[in-house]
Structure 1
Amino acid sequence: MKLKSLLLAALLAGAFGSAAANDYNAPTVPLTGGPIDWSISFGTSHQAGAFTDTYTFTYSGLPGTAAGFFGNVATSVGQIDFGTASLNATPLNVTNLGGLSFSYYTSIPVQGLLTLVITGTSYGVASSYAGTLDVTAVPEPATYGMLLGGLALVGVVARRRKLS
């Protein structure tokens, strides 16, 4: 009877112990700033094991480009090795150099809701990482057309005044 109880306890511990407790799904938060530049800081801590972190950000939704950085420096209590990362399904390069792990990215086209997914493995008692995400709106072609039209109009008015 004791063997059955021990087996049941081991199975239950294994089932609950293998849950994705190390994963982090951040609440959706707006980027700050605007109307041209937005930014936000993010990060979290992990106990030893594999993780998948998902961050969701909102901003004006205008087409733009994203740039940012996230990283971890090993401490006496742990370190992180990043596995993969993506921003709106665009893969980001990650680098793991012993006690230094990071990702630096620029010129990622974005629009609307932004989803950043980071996977990796934490070693030691506790590890954390932090980063920033910046979005710069790119004016639409119509905006450039209106600018050129306005400059042409100013040129015509200036030329008329000069001739008069």
Structure 2
Amino acid sequence: MAVASTGAYANDYAPAVVAMTGGPTDWSISFGTSHTDGLNFTDTYQFSYSGAPGSATVAIFNLASPTGDLDFSWADINGTPLLISNTGAFSVSAIFATPVSGLITLTIKGSDTGVASYAGTLDIKTPVPEPATYGMMLGGLALLGVVARRRKG
């Protein structure tokens, strides 16, 4: 009975998959929502981007207002936990430079005491090849051309 009743009181938010903007090496998106019923919540966001594997930075903030407050109890990105701090009227959750690729799932759990909301950002940086990498690639191709030409002649 207790298990059935906890699910009935959940205040969960799960929007459709959202495509991130930017590229080709820097992708970002803002997100957030409000909770108003004084109950626990689990919010699940999914983001997509067409970039290569990269590193993600996530920051989520809440500042209490006269109408309510919100505390985070858990947050993760693709299963990697974010750091959480609930200090007085200020709650924050963040992670820096965690590896990601493909579909990104961000899960946020917490509770509110009345009308409260949070906002956050997700930024993904994908590596940019160094100019020396291109030089080495061109040098290798030139060497292959020389070897192929010598074999022909």
Corresponding residue for residue 77 of structure 2: 87
- Determine if the alignment matches structure 1 residue 101 to structure 2 residue 91: yes
Partner SS state of residue 72, structure 1? strand
1:103-150: per-residue Cα shift (whole Å, max 9, x none)?
Answer: 1221110000000000001112x1100000000112479x97434334
The correspondence for 1:42, drawn from 31, 52, 74, is 31
Question: Aligned partner of 2:102: which letter?
Answer: G
Question: Aligned partner of 2:25: which letter?
Answer: I
For 1:65 and 1:98, the matched residues in 2 are separated by 31
Corresponding residue for residue 122 of structure 1: 112
Corresponding residue for residue 156 of structure 1: none
The correspondence for 1:149, drawn from 116, 122, 137, is 137
Corresponding residue for residue 12 of structure 2: 23
1:69-107: per-residue Cα shift (whole Å, max 9, x none)?
Answer: 111000000010100100000011110001100012211
Percent sequence identity over aligned pairs: 46
Partner SS state of residue 128, structure 1? strand
For 1:55 and 1:34, the matched residues in 2 are separated by 20
The correspondence for 1:136, drawn from 125, 128, 135, is 125
Call closer, same or farther: CA 1:41–1:151 in 2, change over 3 Å. Answer: farther
8 Å Cα contact 2:19-2:47 kept in structure 1: yes
Q: Looking at secondary structure, tell me which structure has more helix per residue.
A: 1
RMSD of aligned alpha carbons: 2.6
Partner SS state of residue 16, structure 2? coil
TM-score with structure 2 setting the length: 0.80
8 Å Cα contact 2:60-2:119 kept in structure 1: yes
Question: Aligned partner of 1:120: which letter?
Answer: G
Corresponding residue for residue 55 of structure 1: 45
8 Å Cα contact 2:62-2:118 kept in structure 1: yes
Unmatched segments (≥5 aa) in structure 1:
1-10, 154-164
Q: Which moved more, 1:18-27 or 1:102-111?
A: 18-27
Unmatched segments (≥5 aa) in structure 2:
142-153
The correspondence for 2:57, drawn from 59, 67, 70, is 67
Partner SS state of residue 149, structure 1? helix
Call closer, same or farther: CA 1:144–1:120 in 2, change over 3 Å. Answer: farther
Call closer, same or farther: CA 1:50–1:147 in 2, change over 3 Å. Answer: farther
Number of residue pairs matched by the alignment? 138
Deviation at 1:16, TM superposition (A): 7.7
